[in-house]
Amino acid sequence: MARGMARLLRYSLDPHGVRARMGYLYALRWLGVAGGLKGVRKFNPACPMLYIYGERKPLLFHSRPWAERIATSPNSKVVALPTGHWVMITARGRFNDAVRTWLADTDGLT
């Protein structure tokens, strides 16, 4: 099922890397598995945060206002890469550069 969904969403890498466990959060959210996500608090980080996401996804896991709030929070950053869901695989170099840069920029901050 996971590989079929990956094909439908045009996942371009090796399909043998797709595993059923990658869908657990979707099952929680959409199927209510294990009680679902009822009662989950809104995520409002109290510390600097780096949020990296792929622009070419059929479904985003954040809203534009949330991303803007994170981007304008002190020492936080939002990076959109021209990829699908697995940004750390399909844009490995750009992903790693973004993480390194953000860590260097925030080193020693509390």
Same domain for 17 and 59? no
Same domain for 26 and 55? no
> Are 60 and 35 a contacting pair, CB within 8 Å?
no
Range of the domain at 71: 41-110
Query: Scanning the structure block, which residue is given the tokens 């925030």?
Result: 106
Same domain for 35 and 80? no
> Are 67 and 97 a contacting pair, CB within 8 Å?
no
Three-state DSSP class for 109? Answer: coil
Task: Give the global pTM.
Answer: 0.68
Number of domains, the chain: 2
Same domain for 34 and 86? no
Three-state DSSP class for 62? Answer: coil
Query: Scanning the structure block, which residue is given the tokens 């869908």?
Result: 23
55 vs 8, more confident: 55
How far apart, in whole angstroms, are the C-alpha atoms of residue 92 and residue 41?
31
Residue 16 has pLDDT above 80, yes or no: no
Same domain for 30 and 60? no
Q: What is the rounded average pLDDT of the residues 84-107?
A: 93
How far is the first Cα of the chain from the last one, in angstroms, to the nearest whole number?
Answer: 44
Same domain for 31 and 46? no
33 vs 102, more confident: 102
Same domain for 46 and 81? yes
How far apart, in whole angstroms, are the C-alpha atoms of residue 50 and residue 79?
8
- For 42-86, write each residue's pLDDT tens digit: 778 888 999 999 998 877 778 899 899 999 999 999 999 999 888
Same domain for 47 and 31? no
Same domain for 19 and 49? no
Same domain for 24 and 73? no
